[in-house]
Structure 1
Amino acid sequence: MLPPPFRMPDAVQYLILCLCLFYLASGRAIPPLYAQIDTATDVNAPAYLFRMERHLRDTDVCALVRGDGQYHVERLAGEKADIFEGVLALADLQKLERLLGADELFQLTQEKIVMPMITVDNDKLPLSVLRPGYWQNLTLPDSESRKPFQQSLVPLVKWLEEMDKQKHVRLTEEGARNNCLPPGKIELKTRNRSASVTSTSTETEATATKQPVLISYALRAVINRLGNQQIERTCVIVYSAGRYHLERKRQRFGSRDVKIQIFEDSISDTQLQLLREILDTPTQAFPSFPPHFPSIWGSL
């Protein structure tokens, strides 16, 4: 037979209620969200629901919301910082959960978001949503990239803009600013000297066996060009044996289309020798490198 469920005596409940009312009446600030939770030790703490940022030209806003409705918001404008925390009402929390559960947002992946080389404005939107078994991390670089997903993203942007209308407690920048990151704690442990020696030797052996294989290369470079009404970025890596991987991206001004070309092949021994001669002459390498570039990779 199961024991009867525990029931707190009425007198104890009354005492706790009185203490809570006294605490609130005293005017003390609610302990900050980051101080209430320690993700490294409190395994029973509610999971975080989502984290959102919006970077504008002159304002940065971020919000972190926990599954039980507690939230932390930071708004930075120039040298002014507004930081506040509170608890969403149940109806507001359920509304937020519905927004986060919309099919359009749930199925959105980073690969579906256009990442242009030229953005139309300074309006970047990083977003992280807790999904079953994983975090959905997205970055939308500007307002134009959000247009295909307006149905799910516009309500979230509006939600973030109106967070200061929620009941909250203001906090000081010195004690509460954390970029809306979940809290954590690093624990330092001591150990005796003999254990340290044994552990060090074991770790050294393990490190020696797990050293990654280093592949030598002759050149790794990123080249940006601006002209002819377009921006072009080329990155290339040339391995010591002559094998190379080259990626080139182009975007014309006024267009959202980014053309990408990827090449892999090997350069000839003559071309590899020419490249080494350029790199072995530091005083001439950079001034003479662009003219030699087409002669090494032909029409690429």
Structure 2
Amino acid sequence: MTKNMSGGDMKFVLKAALAISIALGSITTPASSNEVDSRGGARTVVVPLAPGGAGDKLGRMLAQRLTEETGRTYIVDNKPGAGGNIAAAHVAKAKNDGSTLLLTTGGMLTLNPHIYKNIAFDPIKDFTHIAKWVDSPNILFVRTETPVNNFDQFMTWAKSGPQPLKYGSAGIGSSQHLAAELFQTRTGVEFLHVPYRGGTPAVQDLVSGLLDFSFSTTAGLAMMNAGRLKPLVVTSTKRLSMLPDIPTIAESGYPGFDASAWYGVVGPAGMSDAEVAIVQRAVEKLARDEKLAAALEAEALIVDYRDPAAFKQYVQQELDSWGA
């Protein structure tokens, strides 16, 4: 997640996330032996989220493009849980021959090291940073039948109830979690966090009435298009072109608010230049595809391609910023 808040806000958000992770007994160890892929020489794109959400779709796009480009078969291996730490630790310890890649979220590499204790990987030393791909602003959704239709009405609702509103996220340290923590910090309104093993299950429970609201992108938009959810505000600094009438939180009374996530591709440390080039070219072609970029933007995914050197520098800067 892009860091754009005051030092006090940032430390408050990190402390809140840390407290929750400790209370829930967060998992930070690699996947157990019975979870490790047993398909021999199959090449995998590990996705740290449950099937159906934005990250899963991006992982499948990458696997398909790599299969087309190389003639090798790449498959998606979903390893949700622990804010992405299970997936990251699995890839960090994999062979560095290019057969195992990770579609990483920003939070996994830049937030988790500050939130979780005894994390099982180093976000810089244990990975080959291949490419940054897209940014992903979050959207605040409520059910269609919820009697609030704009941000002001939502805030009145949130402040007036006897109990905090419940929201779901893709897990502790996910972009949705940190967006909500920042939202809570800036507004002074308390919310109750319910972490899931991916954004799609959280949205499903929002639709079913088990949650009051949720920050989401792809899964939420699908339910919006189905008439089950409605958007109220977005977490980026600018309005989204596919939701031009939905304001930002920044323009709704909280200047500077920005809680956008991002996705990139890494592999185990020590990958050869030749293997890196294969994956980098695939991501770059996806990023330069104008039709695909337009389709991604329709799902609130904004292309922001960076090559290996620029991507590694970006990760280091974000990591340092969150730890400041």
- What's the TM-score bracket when you normalise by the shorter of the two chains? under 0.3
Greater Rg over alpha carbons, structure: 1
| TM-score (normalizing by structure 2) | 0.21
| TM-score (normalizing by structure 1) | 0.22
The structure whose residues are more often helix, as a share, is 2
The structure whose residues are more often strand, as a share, is 1
